[in-house]
Amino acid sequence: MFDFLADSARDRAVLCGGKRSRREFLQVGALSALGLSWPQYLQAAESGLVKPGHEKRSCIMIFNLGGPSHLDLWDMKPEAPSEIRGPFKPIRTKSDAFEISELLPLHAKIADKFSLVRSCHHDGAAVHDAGWQMMQTGRRFTGGVQTPHAGAVASYLLGRRTDLPPFVVLPQLMGRGGGNLPNGQAGGFLGKAHDPFALMADPSQKDFRVPDLLPPDQIGAARLDRRRKMRDIVDGAVKDFEASEDARLLNENFASAFRMMTSEQARSAFDLTKEPQSVRDRYGMNRFGQCCLLARRLVENGVRFVTINTFLTVFDEITWDIHGSKPFTSIEGMKDIVCPMYDQAYSALIEDLDQRGLLGDTLVANLAEFGRTPKVNPAGGRDHWPSCFTTYFAGGGVKGGRVIGASDPIGGFPAERPVGPGDIVATVFHSLGLDHAAQLPGPGNRPFSLTDLGTEPIRELFA
């Protein structure tokens, strides 16, 4: 259990092994207005928050924005009528437990490294951003309350390991999804201190570099001076505030940001030119491929949580959103463009992590907002379908080559072991060594945990 859980009377909180009053706990909540929190200051390594043997764990969440067709990729129904099974054939894999689509031949070669969960579902609206929220946070946003992304929770509970931020999104935050809803990639009620560091650049471009991590001589003296003056303002605050815990935390927050900006380690981690061209080519010289390579470099350098958005929006680019006709992706677009790029990068990432001895401590979670309709539509594509879809996991303690759950004969609904968004997020926490029952200070400082939603990790993945 974590050290800062509210007890049953909810009038005290345990912080860093000692008791503090509820009044102090509420005062800590006020720090969110400054973008700060206690756990950022109370280092997790000193508090024993991580289960023994999990101290080095990280997570790479690949979010397949657009909603891939489970029926055409991971949960094929070759015996179903043609309007259900679609145009593609299953192929054998390195796992005796399952076959997958001929569109993913490189996945097939490493199928002993990952396991499928074929019984995912949620009851949210069949719009992209509703699914983005649920699958990355574990719940639907209601009443104006935004639940934090799983990476933000890891940031809150565990803090940073190095000069690099604990939670990074590549290449940038999700764009429009059609529902005009928050996308779930933020700190939510934990505060902006736990928003991700978003790259905001395409790492496949020749001139790629991260502006905020440029060496000081390229940032410019004026800009550095402005940042130092911001710290001077804090240092010159009123004496009462200077003496307070809040001031110390605020000053440390500025120092932390400044340290990352000028850190040689941070610049090196983001510098893809340090990789041999053969390695970059193995991942694919495209945005997604280079994001996967960058994710490997980041976890190798101590970043706890990296989310990769396979695509940025369902508009104006070919994505997994295969409605079949313009402006959306056709079935041919998925076959000829999306799948080859995705197959290459994912297989490269898993093999690279494995060869470097990192896979055992790095969970790679492949998620999506929903699946696609069992029946092929008149345009030859498939439409949104949150009632059943597939996710899959590798590394981070997961046993590969397995299938958890099953869908019905047409892939329309879970038939065995239904899995919801909260179960997915709890599984990520379980891999990281965190207790999904840990209570966070939710809206209004009311305790919140995933067990409030009746969720449990998918323990069969680890058994």
pLDDT of residue 11: 29
- Can you say how many angstroms the Cα of residue 445 is from the centroid of all Cα atoms in its chain? 25
Residue 247 counted as domain residue:
no
3-state SS track over the chain: CCCCCECCCCCEEEECCEEEEHHHHHHHHHHHHHCCCHHHHCCHHHHCCCCCCCCCCEEEEEECCCCCCHHHHCCCCCCCCHHHHCCCCEECCCCCCCCEECCCHHHHHCCCCEEEEEEECCCCCCCHHHHHHHHHHCCCCECCECCCCHHHHHHHHHCCCCCCCCEEEECCCCCCCCCCCCCCCCCHHHCHHHCCEECCCCCCCCCCCCHHHCCHHHHCHHHHHHHHHHHHHHHCCCHHHHCCHHHHHHHHHHHHHHHHHCCHHHHHHHCHHHCCHHHHHHHCCCHHHHHHHHHHHHHHCCCCEEEEECCCCCCCCCCCCCCCCCCCCCHHHHHHHHHHHHHHHHHHHHHHHHHCCCHHHEEEEEECCCEECCCCCCCCCCCEECCCEEEEEECCCCCCCCEECEECCCCCCEEECCECHHHHHHHHHHHHCCCCCCCEECHHHCEECHHHHCCCCCHHHCC
Average of per-residue pLDDT across 354-373: 98
The domain that contains 277 carries what CATH number? 3.40.720.10
Residue 300 counted as domain residue:
yes
Residue 288 pLDDT > 80, yes or no? Answer: yes
pLDDT of residue 230: 59
Average of per-residue pLDDT across 28-43: 35
Tell me which residue of 289, 271, 279, 282 sits closest to 62, measured CA to CA: 289
pLDDT in tens, 314-335: 998 999 999 999 889 999 999 9
pLDDT in tens, 154-178: 999 998 999 999 999 999 999 988 8
Average of per-residue pLDDT across 220-230: 57
pLDDT of residue 362: 98
pLDDT in tens, 252-274: 455 556 667 778 889 999 999 99
Query: What is d(CA 11, CA 447) in angstroms, rounded to the nearest whole number?
Result: 11
Structure token digits, residue 185 = 């990639």
pLDDT of residue 447: 86
pLDDT in tens, 394-421: 999 999 999 999 999 999 999 999 999 9
pLDDT of residue 408: 98
Phi, psi of 165 (to 5 degrees): -65, 155
pLDDT of residue 328: 93
pLDDT of residue 38: 38
Residue 30 counted as domain residue:
no
pTM for this entry: 0.84
Predicted confidence band at 212 (pLDDT cuts at 50, 70, 90)?
low
Question: Residue 179 CB: number of other CB atoms within 10 A?
Answer: 17
Residue 244 counted as domain residue:
no
Predicted confidence band at 220 (pLDDT cuts at 50, 70, 90)?
low
Domain extent at residue 103: 57-211+264-461
Residue 181 pLDDT > 60, yes or no? Answer: yes
Residue 355 counted as domain residue:
yes
Q: Count how many domains the chain has.
A: 1
Mean pLDDT is lowest, of 38-42, 49-53, 361-365, 385-389, for: 38-42
pLDDT of residue 9: 26
Residue 11 counted as domain residue:
no
Mean pLDDT across the chain, nearest whole number?
A: 84
Mean pLDDT is lowest, of 32-46, 208-222, 240-254, 401-415, for: 32-46
Residue 49 pLDDT > 90, yes or no? Answer: no
Residue 13 pLDDT > 90, yes or no? Answer: no
